[in-house]
Amino acid sequence: MRYLLLLGLWWFTSAAVAAPVILVFGDSLAAGYGLPQKAGWVELLQQRLAKEQRHYSVVNASISGETTAGGRARIAAALKEYRPAIVVLELGANDGLRGLPLEASRANLAAILQACREQQARVLLVGMKIPPNYGAAYTRQFEETYRELAGQFHTAWVPFLLEGIAANRDQFQADGLHPTVAAQPLVLENVWRELKPLLGKH
């Protein structure tokens, strides 16, 4: 009996360790800012994977307030620690809201994408849109950065994380920036639509 118990424990541990990792690498929109624990779309993603019997382990390495520069500084360590099969890259919103130089943001995202490529991780690049606070040209170029990088690196991409949500004020918390608990399944659907083809047969 003891032998069977140890064997079962070994099998469970080995299976858990062997599960390929989906690394969500983003900012407050992925970190679950202002939400109850386990209510964010990243947690819902893990539940969706389990429901569909897709054996992936989701690691959320997102940080509220993160910029593309911050992401660039810590991507190497995250890739080394988690060895992800897939990276969901959701960064740039804070750069845009602060009006940071788009050339720098693009270079940072490109560096992150290159690091993922060198680790042979598949990437889902998550696009964002911003209010026209800094002029139409800046706003347009910000949005186009994601499409252009997705083409350059041949990655899957979500054109807009908050598609179908952004126009509805009731779907946002009091700050007007972060989606509510009720909106999280909608955010997940936007990600899932493009993520699902990357999952393979795991």
Residues recognised as catalytic: 28, 175, 178
- Alpha carbon distance 198, 24 (integer Å): 14
Alpha carbon of 108 to those of 52, 115, 145, 182, 193: distances in Å? 34, 11, 11, 32, 26
Phi-psi region of 66 (alpha: psi -120 to 50; beta: other; left: phi over 0): beta
Alpha helices (H) along 19-135:
28-31, 41-51, 68-82, 93-98, 102-118
What helix, strand, coil percent values describe the chain, rounded to 5?
A: 55, 10, 35
- Among residues 84, 102, 89, 91, the alpha carbon closest in space to that of 67 is found at 91
